[in-house]
Amino acid sequence: MKKVLIITGGSSGIGFATAKLFQENGFSIINLSRSSINLDKALHFEVDLSSPEWNVSLESNFKQILQSSDKICLVHNASKMQSDNVESIDEHSLREVLEVNLVGPTKLNKIIIPYMKKGSSILYVGSTLSEKAVPQMSSYVMSKHAMIGLMRSTCQDLFGRFIHTACICPGATETEMLVEYVQGNQDALNAMASTLSENRLITSNEIAEALFFCANNSVINGSVIHANLGIQSS
């Protein structure tokens, strides 16, 4: 059986851990990101999801690769996060966030779904902020809330086609994106860890395991999965 993982943002963090785990379990890897993926035999397409025209050159490439695939797992992992609020948010920056976090997955679904056979899956990497909000993260919060809506629409629109979907919502995960967001402030990272039940940040490998489980269990369909160690109520 030819199994293929297509992942966005697979060059680092959760994306790289996921690509590595799937490859170890017999999947061929296709990565879409701005940076290349350091994984033997992985196929890389340099893509900037914030650019509205990124998909134009890819459709013909995917046709050649995917038409012989038996099982495809599509993981929407790439994400853009920035500090902003409802009063000061810049329209151009908002569009960039929505292009990466919402429009990009929608475009990629349209390209890949026609090649998906029974047992394939579409997985979205959301966030704890897919279901709540914190100050100064307006664009990220709205895009991740919308991602759950996209996942649920995916489930309904593909009903009966044996393609399952889920949105995995990690808590504070120790990734390059998170460290960059807090500008390397260890106190800020420690504060995030203190809200989780084991007083530590989640690892990328743990989220990769959750994604792999969802990919291989079709009973998880239309589901929001909280992969957050348990968060202390405020």
Answer whether residue 112 shows pLDDT above 90: yes
- Decide if 115 contacts 62 (C-beta within 8 A): yes
Average pLDDT of the chain is 92
The pLDDT value given to residue 171? 86
Answer whether residue 72 shows pLDDT above 90: yes
Query: Is the pTM value of this prediction over 0.85?
Result: yes
Q: What's the pLDDT band for 183 if we cut at 50, 70, 90?
A: confident
Identify the helix (H) or strand (E) that includes residue 109. helix 104-112
CATH superfamily of 3-173+205-227: NAD(P)-binding Rossmann-like Domain (3.40.50.720)
Answer whether residue 86 shows pLDDT above 80: yes
Q: pLDDT by residue (tens digit) across 208-219?
A: 999 999 999 999
Q: With 0-12 CB in 10 A as exposed, 13-18 as middle and 19+ as buried, what is 145?
A: middle
The pLDDT value given to residue 217? 97
Give the whole-angstrom CA distance, residue 108 versus residue 6: 10
Answer whether residue 1 shows pLDDT above 70: yes
Answer whether residue 233 shows pLDDT above 90: no
Q: pLDDT by residue (tens digit) across 28-66?
A: 999 999 999 999 999 999 999 998 888 877 888 888 889
Hey, CA dihedral for 89, 91, 93, 94, is it positive or negative?
positive
- Measuring CA to CA, how many Å separate 220 from each of 3, 62, 170, 197? 19, 27, 16, 25
Q: What mean pLDDT comes out for the span 64-86?
A: 93
Give the whole-angstrom CA distance, residue 110 versus residue 129: 26
Exposed e or buried b for every residue in 153-175, given b needs 16+ CB within 10 A? ebbeebeeeebbbbbbbbbbbeb
How many other CB atoms sit within 10 Å of the CB of residue 17? 22
Give the whole-angstrom CA distance, residue 42 versus residue 109: 21
What proportion of the chain, given as a percentage, has pLDDT over 90?
73
Give the whole-angstrom CA distance, residue 36 versus residue 20: 14
Please state whether 9 falls in left (phi above 0), alpha (psi between -120 and 50) or beta.
Answer: left
DSSP annotation string for 169-220: EE-SB--HHHHHHTTT-HHHHHHHHHTBTTSSPBPHHHHHHHHHHHHT-TT-
Answer whether residue 181 shows pLDDT above 90: no
